[in-house]
Each structure stands twice: as structure tokens, then as C-alpha cells.
């Protein structure tokens, strides 16, 4: 029995370490969720201020318009880009309530407005493959956070897009830089969690079939 004692103690130590790891992971997830909620509240406050400014500017614009003999002012502003046939490009990016909606030449998707000042989305085309690259503006740097691939062998498969043919869709998550502070590290992973929102909204496109 004495001979088995070191083995028992070792197994107990391993079990304790595993419990500690699980506890740390849960704590990290709670921090990320709290960060997301905090950012949502911050962005709602900003939206109220922005809306008030927009109302003031609209009235000012209408007044100037009438003074100059013009009767209307534009209601929306969207960011547009051109598109070459068969290539992935961002056509418009607009805010709809709590979401940023992105329309591309392949598929439409959205992510939380709470991350609008952190997330940047870019397209990349090479040969027959295309990418949606999601960057996170963290600690003054633009860091690649995750990539959605179209017609590529890279990443983890997440569905199929039916355009002229069937295009495999996959995703790959980047590793966080080692030198990030704990707060910035939580932000980095919180941005990666927005992929769940992106994927869910992509499933609303009839041409996209996700993997169950």
C-alpha cells in the first residue's frame, strides 16, 4: 500500500491542476463576457450622443437646404467598394441597431456594433480562393484575429456556399500575441467570439449551408 502512495499523490495533484485549469478558463470566459457587456453599454451611450448630434445636424442641414432652395438631406451614409466579377469584395457596410451589417459580392453577414471601433474587415483574393480577414485594433496595433476562407483547404470547415458552383467555406483563428496585457488578451478573444454572430447571420443567406 505504501508503494502506491506516491502514485495516488501524483494522481491527486494532476486532478487538482486540472480543476485549477478549468477554473481559470471559466474565469477568463466570464471576463470576456463582462467585457462584451461593458462594450455594449459604452456603445449604446455613444449611439445616443451620435443620434442627438445627427438630429441637430439634420435640422441644420434642412435649414441650409431650404435657404439654398434645396428640400432634402441624405438619410444614410454607407461605405462602398467596386467589384470585379467572380472576386470577393465588400459592397456596403452599414449600422442597423446593435449590429454592423456587411454586404459582400459573395454573402452578407453581421457582427455586434459594440465592436465597431475594434473590428476591421478586409477582403483578399488569390487565384480561385478568397478570404474575409477580420482584424482587431488592439493596443494601437492592427492584429489579424480570424479569417473566413472561400474555396480553400485552409482552416476548419464550417459550410458550403452555392454560387455558380459549390464553394467550401472554412475559418481559421489566429493565436494571440504573447506580450498582450490581460485586458487586451480578453479583448482579442472576445473579438474571436464574434465569429459565432457572423456564422449565424451567414446562415440566413439561402445560398449558404452550414455544417451541423
Question: 126 pairs with which residues across the strands?
Answer: 129
Q: Identify the pLDDT of residue 51.
A: 42
Give the three-class secondary structure for 98. Answer: coil
pLDDT of residue 127: 93
Closest CA to 151 of 166, 129, 170, 172: 129
pLDDT attached to residue 144: 98
Q: Along the 212 residues of the chain, how does pLDDT read in single tens digits?
A: 555 556 566 667 666 665 665 566 566 566 566 666 655 555 554 444 334 334 334 443 433 333 333 333 333 333 333 345 579 999 999 999 999 999 999 999 999 999 999 999 999 999 999 999 999 999 999 999 999 999 999 999 999 999 888 999 999 999 999 999 999 999 999 999 999 999 999 999 999 999 87
pLDDT of the residue at 48: 42
pLDDT score of 202: 97
Question: Which of 110, 192, 184 has its CA nearest to residue 145?
Answer: 192
The torsion angles phi and psi of 31, rounded to 5 degrees, stand at: -65, -40
Question: Interior CA angle at 78 toward 102 and 55, to 5°?
Answer: 120
pLDDT attached to residue 116: 96
> Quick one: three-class SS letters along 122-190?
EEEEECCEEEEEEEEEECCEEEEEEEEEECCCCCEEEEEEECCCEEEEEEEECCCCCCCCHHHHHHHHH
Amino acid at each position: 500500500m505504501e508503494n502506491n502512495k506516491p502514485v495516488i499523490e501524483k494522481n491527486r495533484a494532476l486532478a487538482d491542476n486540472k480543476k485549477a485549469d478549468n477554473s481559470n478558463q471559466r474565469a477568463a470566459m466570464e471576463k470576456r463576457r463582462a467585457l462584451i457587456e461593458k462594450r455594449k453599454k459604452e456603445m449604446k451611450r455613444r449611439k445616443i450622443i451620435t443620434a442627438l448630434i445627427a438630429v441637430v445636424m439634420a435640422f441644420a442641414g434642412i435649414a441650409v437646404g431650404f435657404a439654398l432652395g434645396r428640400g432634402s438631406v441624405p438619410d444614410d451614409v454607407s461605405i462602398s467598394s467596386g467589384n470585379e466579377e467572380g472576386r470577393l469584395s465588400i459592397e456596403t457596410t452599414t449600422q442597423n441597431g446593435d449590429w454592423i451589417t456587411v454586404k459582400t459580392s459573395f454573402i452578407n453577414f453581421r457582427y455586434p456594433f459594440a465592436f465597431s471601433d475594434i473590428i476591421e474587415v478586409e477582403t483578399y483574393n488569390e487565384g480561385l480562393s478568397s478570404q474575409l480577414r477580420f482584424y482587431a485594433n488592439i493596443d494601437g496595433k492592427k492584429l489579424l484575429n480570424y479569417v473566413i476562407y472561400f474555396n480553400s483547404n485552409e482552416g476548419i470547415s464550417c459550410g458550403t456556399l452555392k454560387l455558380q458552383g459549390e464553394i467550401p467555406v472554412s475559418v481559421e483563428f489566429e493565436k494571440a500575441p504573447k506580450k498582450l496585457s490581460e485586458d487586451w488578451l480578453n479583448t482579442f478573444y472576445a473579438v474571436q467570439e464574434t465569429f459565432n454572430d457572423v456564422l449565424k447571420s451567414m446562415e440566413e443567406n439561402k445560398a449558404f449551408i452550414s455544417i451541423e
